[in-house]
Amino acid sequence: MKPIGNQVDPFSGQPNGSDVYKEFDATELYCPKCKQPVPVRKRLLLVLPEGDKYEYLCAYCAETVGTKIDKQDKPLTIIT
């Protein structure tokens, strides 16, 4: 029998385990203005040294419903 720990997910091609679901993107969030869960649009807000900051906007009223920072794997080197 093969060990279970080193199997590959047939859909994503990535190894099974805790590394498979590192990042999620929201597709629907609660909007306080519309008072219901709504589809969202992701917009780049800032480029920071620790990662890119995104803002989630309601698809109906464009209200900000959340933010997310995508952490970069490697730190940026600033050239001076």
Instruction: Name which of 68, 73, 39 is nearest 54 in CA terms.
Output: 68
Total length of the chain: 80
Q: Tell me the domain boundaries of the chain.
A: 24-80
Which value, in Å, is the radius of gyration of the alpha carbons in the chain?
A: 18
**Token match 């959340």: residue?**
66
Summarised one tens digit per residue, pLDDT across range 3-54 is 455 566 666 566 655 555 667 889 999 999 999 999 999 999 999 888 899 9
Summarised one tens digit per residue, pLDDT across range 56-77 is 999 999 999 999 998 876 665 7
